[in-house]
Amino acid sequence: MLSTPDTNAPAACRSGVQRSAWFARLAFAAVFVVNVQCAVQFVLWPEAYTSGFELAGVPGATAVRGLGIAFLMWNATYPAVIASPARFRALGVVVLAQQAIGLAGESWIRLSLPAGHEALAASIDRFVVFDAAGLALMGVAFAWLLVADRRARHAAA
């Protein structure tokens, strides 16, 4: 279990945990900001994005708006992790799992898409690239936090 830096641990270990926690905060916050920005745009201006999903009219705008709402729901776990990645480690794992599921699902959808849907393929490709980069960034940051915390706990023992 992650803990706050142990006061018995050497200062270098405590500062390592603090640095890794800040890196995790920044990584999760960066992904969160882009996700929420995308979600808000989908909710407020869905018509601007319907063609990228090969949709049109009221049904298309409604589908894009619904996707924006789903993005907002998906991001409800981020603020606690951003506030305290060490304290909310379990939520950090949930965020990483959500990101991995999204990436796997988007990749599967993209791979199963028949030829002739270039606009849709390009939209899905953007999601795949962003989610892969976000997963890598958050995964590295979270792993660094876990390693730094483990080192601090062992140094204090």
What is the tens place of the pLDDT at every residue in 32-82?
999 999 999 999 999 999 999 999 999 999 999 999 999 999 999 999 999
Tell me: the pLDDT tens digits for 96-128? Answer: 999 999 999 999 999 999 999 999 999 999 999
Is residue 136 over pLDDT 50?
A: yes
Residue 6 belongs to a domain: no
Query: Residue 147 sits in which domain range?
Result: 11-152
The number of distinct structural domains making up the chain is 1
Residue 123 belongs to a domain: yes
Residue 2 belongs to a domain: no
Tell me: the pLDDT tens digits for 137-152? Answer: 999 999 999 999 898 8
Q: Which helix (H) or strand (E) holds 133?
A: helix 118-156
Residue 1 belongs to a domain: no
In contact, 155 and 9? CB cutoff 8 Å: yes
CA separation for the pair 15, 148 (Å, rounded): 9
Residue 139 belongs to a domain: yes
Give the pLDDT score at 152: 85
Report if pTM > 0.75.
yes
- Please state the separation of Cα 96 from the chain's center in Å: 7
What are the C-alpha distances in Å from 75 to residues 19, 34, 102? Answer: 24, 10, 12
Give 18's contacts (C-beta < 8 A, 6+ positions apart): 5
Residue 4 belongs to a domain: no
Residue 153: pLDDT band by 50, 70, 90 thresholds?
confident
Pick the closest to residue 126 from 142, 138, 109, 148 (CA basis).
109
Residue 121 belongs to a domain: yes
Residue 5 belongs to a domain: no
Is residue 2 over pLDDT 50?
A: no
